[in-house]
Copies of this chain bind each other. A is one copy, B any other.
Amino acid sequence: MGLTMTFAKDEEIYGQDEDADLIYRVLEGAVRTTRVMADGRRQIGDFYLAGDIFGLETGPRHRFAAEAVRDSAVLVVKASALRAAGGDIERLGWETTRRELERAQEHVLLLGRKTACERVASFLKDLSDKGGSPAVVDLPMGRQDIADYLGLTIETVSRMLSQLQSGRIVSFCATRQFRVVNPQGLARLADQAQ
């Protein structure tokens, strides 16, 4: 059920203010939701990896655009079709929206009250946890995306990554691959919040 579509790196999946009639699920790759201000400042709402559902996060119209972080495959389903097929869509939709809200609230805390170092640490921890804490975690997105998610600049992100590495918290095998050296240290930096 539904249609599989592929999107090239940086291709738009849906635009801001477009009708929100479709529900999406990442099959492969990674997706970001973005909001751009009149003067070009950009904020990333969230990242979605394989298995994640997105596109449901808003009202009748999308308030964020969605773009492929890199070449990605996405399953697209019409919300109305899904509704016709069975009533538990309401429940699924609510659950998904609720999880979105929880993530947005964590994001608010991060942006409102965490330092640059804590933000980057939180980001790495989140990504590591999300993947089931594998030995080596890879970053699907570039530094600019990370910066626009964390409310920082690429330079600050880069500096904090270097700092975390020299502090033996994480270790980068490549620019987009790291391992967590000191999980407790990472958690302490990330989760000062209860």
Contacts and interface: CB of A to CB of B under 8 A. Distances in A.
Interface of A: 16-17, 35-39, 41-43, 45, 57-59, 63-64, 90, 93-94, 97-102, 104-105, 107-109, 111-113, 148, 150-151, 192-194
Contact of A105 (B42, B64, B102): B64
Contacts of A93: 94
A104 B108 contact: yes
A159 to B, nearest CB: 18
Nearest to A36: B194
Most buried by B among A57, A97, A98, A105: A105
A99 B107 CA distance: 17
28 contacts: A17-B194, A35-B105, A35-B193, A35-B194, A37-B109, A38-B194, A41-B192, A42-B113, A43-B112, A45-B108, A57-B101, A57-B105, A58-B98, A58-B101, A59-B99, A63-B105, A64-B105, A90-B90, A97-B98, A101-B101, A104-B105, A104-B107, A104-B108, A107-B108, A108-B108, A111-B111, A111-B151, A112-B148
